[in-house]
Each structure stands twice: as structure tokens, then as C-alpha cells.
Structure 1
Amino acid sequence: MVFCNETLEDMNQDLDSSCTKEVFKRVPNLNKLGILNDSYDTISLDILVNLPQLETLKISSLRERVRVPVNFTFPTNIKKLTLGNCKIAWKHMTIVGSMPNLEVLKLLDGDKERPGWEPEWEPTEGEFCKLKFLLLRTMFLVQWRASNTNFKSLECLMLKQCSKLEEIPHSIGDIPTLQIIELDDASPSAVISAKQIQEDQENLGNDILQVHVLCEGQFNHQQSEELEAKLIANLESNDDKLQISACSQLTNLINGINALSKGLISRIFSRLLKFLDRDDFPQLQVAAAGAIGDILFCSSHTFNITVNILIEQGAVPIMVSLLSSAEDELRGMVGVVYLSQNVRCQSNM
């Protein structure tokens, strides 16, 4: 039985038959509410309609998922919302996204499989307009098609156990208020995308955004093969933008590949050296020189093998000629790579 009075402002309640609309009518000033469903019975959220002052709401279910009706409207004053094991399809997440005052959102899924559950979330433009903090803990989200127009006030993004998430949408980094992206046991590809977002923002002069990786997952064999295929496809593309993007992403992608074979290194160097010959495109030359340097620094255990492959591909005369380039940035980049190559070669003699 629940006993309430009209001045009650904070309540944590295990859901039972006593938790009815009539009960909540007696506490119109309630501003904090926690509901725990510890049974196999489904619960009705109609009990919330009489709580106009509610600002913090936490709903959790230990067994049966809490079903949120498609046409349900949360109390408009809610600023903090936690949904644990609640059944809202991604396509119906506008129920939450349209909440006008929502600032903190935690979506926490259990670890049980959800047959037939949609793996894609594409928020509607303009949703989550006041949201500052977003925590996603779900192993069921694969593709997240969001943009800076969906979360224009976001300050902190946290991803936990998002083991299937392919990547964080790149435009998330363009949110001017975003300060932190934190990943804990997220997929390796999500981690890579977060690091790329941070790097791109730094190149744009944004030093505020920080990426914290608490526990990074590991690529399995299939993921490693897919990563190699993606890397080669981008490098061998005829699209200048994809080529530059591939060079800039090379370090993070290589770190995610389980074993960098001689064949793969040779194939990568072959393309990068062709990029160095593009006198008509200095930006690509700079990106390629930087990528070669990244590979050398990432291959400390196989450095001699890597350098030999580079030499066999004809890198030395190309780099020597570029040391006389009129492009200061290119000349400096090639100089650093050439010097580090020679110094480390001598140290390994």
C-alpha cells in the first residue's frame, strides 16, 4: 500500500496494484519519481498524467520490458529521464525527443536479445533541442543516423556496452556545445569514429572536445577483415576526398587491424607513394606523407620489415625529391618521415 500526502516531492516506488492514478492525484507537487517493475506484469504509464511538476523520472524493469505506447506523452516539465529496459522502438523515439525541457537522458538496455528489434535509429530533425547529457547503454543499436541538428545543445555523450554500434555520426562533432565523448566497452569501430571526430575538430581549431576511452573492445577476425577491405577501398578510390580521408584515418584503422601483413603494408605503401607523386594536389601529398609516418611509428615491432618494403617500393628517391618542394608543409612532413626512418634504421643496426 502507498501512503501519500499533498506535499510529497520525492518518491521511489516498487510498482504494485496500489500504484494507481488515484494515488498520484494526491501528490501533484511530486518532482522526483522512481518506478521499479519487479514482476512479469506489464505496467501502465497513465499514472504519470497527474504529475505536472515532475522533473526527474526513472523507470526500470527487472523482468518484463516496460512498454511505452506510441502515442504516449511524458509530463512536459521533465528535465531528467532514465529508461531502463523500456520497450520503445527507435522509430518511435520521437516520444522522448519531443519532450520540450529534457536535459538529461539515459537509455539503458538489458543484455537479453530482442528478436526483430530494429537496429537503426534516425532521430527527426529538431528533436532533443535542450538535451545536454546523453547516455546510451545498448547492444542493439547498429546504425545511428543522427546529426548536429538533432542534439544542438549536447555537452556530454556517453556510450556504454554499445558493442554493435558501427560508428558515431561524424556531424555530432559539429555540435558547438559538445565537450566530452566517453566510450566504455564500445565497439572498436565506434572508438575509431570518436577519435576521428576529435582529430577533425582539432584541425578546425576546436580544442574543447575531449574523447575518453575507458575500455575498448577488440576486433574479431571478421571485423578485422572488413576493416582491411574498407581501408583498401578508400585508398584505391579515384575520389580525391576519399583518398585524403583514408590517409587521415589510417592510423586509427591500422590500430584496429589484428595483424598487419607484409602484403597489406606493401599494398598501402604502393598507393601512398602514388599520392606523393601528385604534384598537382599538395594537400594529398601532405596527407600521404603523414600516413607513411604513422605506419612507421605504429610498426615498432616490425620496423625493419616495414622500412624494407618502403625502400623496395622506390620511396627514397621520391622523398629526396620532395625535400626540395616549394610547399613548406610538405617539405617539413617528408623531412620528419625521412629523418625518423634513417635514425631508426641506424638504431636497429
Structure 2
Amino acid sequence: MSDKRNFSYVVSSFYVFYPLKKETLETFRDKIESKGRSLGLVGLYLLGHEGANATYSGLLSDVLTFESYLADALKAHADSEEELKLEFKKSPSHFQPFKEFRVKVREEIVTLGREDLVPKDRKRHLSVDEFHEMLQRDDVVILDTRNDYEYEIGHFKGAIDPKIKEFRDFPEYLKASGLPKAAPTLIYCTGGIRCEKAILAMEEQGFDNVYQLEGGILKYLEKYPQGRWEGECFVFDHRLAVDAELKPTTKFKFCPHCGQPATQPITCKRCDAGAVVCTKCLEASTHKETCSRNCAYHFQRRPDKKGAPQEKSFLAQKLTEASGEAHHSG
């Protein structure tokens, strides 16, 4: 079946570990925010002394204008003479997946809870082709560094799920994992940034044969949409996930109760509206067989009383909130 959606927007993301002057971060934040908004972009841009991590969306011409501006802007606020290399990952969207363009200053541009653990150089990056080739081997350990709900909707064939709720739990997982420290180990994440710190955490604990996927899952799917990837890839914006062709998911919806990916269609027990709820919420309580938190609350109090359908879908509600900051990752 052909996809009839109008993909008029481009979603672009990048990260760079590149020392920036602490004393000018606030000024730099204002400049980046002003530039992005003047171009009509929406998204989230994280800045810190260790570098930048961003995902944003707009018309292709505006995205490219913004990206041509970024290199000089970053160099102007650099705290070193290091060479700057930016690599952008792009995918199509038929809607704007953020509410507005925001720039935040953070201690870490990806939160491991270790401000001292900053990548200083390239640590055993594998190109997409090299990673794909190693995935075929029987002697490698494939370790997902993402959260459990990300793994659940898609992962590389044979990958281990660390079952963590957030990235800062990864070092503790390693300590208790019992994984063979000398075995060749492939690690991956959405865009590559988590692996940059994960490999350092693994080295601290004696893992000395670890390789990371350069550019992450998004870069892999650009070249191997029918490769070793199974399922879809969770993303931290209102697309929720992208399929193997990097297009916004048509399979998953936001669960109205927990916000996680959902596939179970229901008829709301309070207002009779159709909705999609995740399996975990349905299994947790009968009052979650409702289309919203509001209906769940009222149905729990008065299961015998019907109510009017909700005026906004879960996605519409999310798009009116300044959300996404705590979960931005890659």
C-alpha cells in the first residue's frame, strides 16, 4: 500500500562533543534560539560545556540554512582548537513533531550522571557497513544501550535488553550483568550519543573489546532498511517512532495513560470513544480501558456513569505542553 501522507517537513538531528566556553553558554543559547525561531524551526537543542545535542524540524531549506549557521556559531564559542565535524541525520515527517524551538543549557548533553565522563576522541566507531557485517557473526555480543520501552518496539536481531528505565542506570546494569568482558561486543543507540558515554563506562568496568555503531540506528536504517533491524525505532518527539524507511510510525500511538507506545484498540468505558492503549496499562487496571486520564479518573469514581468524549486527543494535548526536555536523547 502506498503512503499517501504529505512529507513536507524534515526532521534533523546531530550531536557533537566539542568543548564550549562555560561563561558564554547563556549568550550562545539565546543566539541559537533566536536563529532557530526566526527560521520557523521547532525542536529541542541541548547545550553544555561538553558540546551540543539537538533534534529539530522544519522545511528543508530552513533546516539547511540553520545547519550552515551552526558550524561557525559553535566555533565562535569553542573552548579549544579542536577540529569541528558535524554530521546530521535526516528523516521525513508529515507534521511538526515539536511544539516550539527551545534551547536548554545542561551539565550533560546526554545524562549518564557522570559529568567527568566526556569523550575526548573516537572510541572504536564502526561504520554502518562494518557494523552490519559484524552483526552476522556468531561470536559477538550485541548490547542495546537504550531504555526498555525503546527496545520493546524495535531492536537488532539477537540484541540483549538491559531492561533499564533511563540511561543513568546503565553502569549499574553492567556491574550485575555477568557479560563476558573479553568478548567482542557491539553497542548501539538511536543516534549514537549514548554509546559515546556507554563505551567509556564499559571500559571503566573492564570491557576492552567494545565497538559502537557510528550514527546509531537512524544511520543504519538509511542504508539497510531491510537489514538486521526488527520492528521500529523509538524517537523522543511526537512522531513516537519511525519505521524502517525512517517515516513516522503508523503502527504505534501514544498511550493516553503513560505516554508509551500503544497498539491495543479499545472503546472507552466512560465516553465510548475509540482509543489505543498499551498492554501494560490494560493489564494493570480495568479503569485504564479508557481514552484519557480524565475518563480513567471519573470511571474509577463512578463506573456506572457515562461522560462526554474528550475534546483533545493525547497527541494534541502533548503538543500544547512544553514537553520532551527530560527525555531528549539519541
Q: Using structure 2 for the length normalisation, give the TM-score.
A: 0.22
Greater percentage in helix: 1
Answer 1 or 2: higher relative contact order, Cα 8 Å, separation at least 6. 2
Q: Using structure 1 for the length normalisation, give the TM-score.
A: 0.21
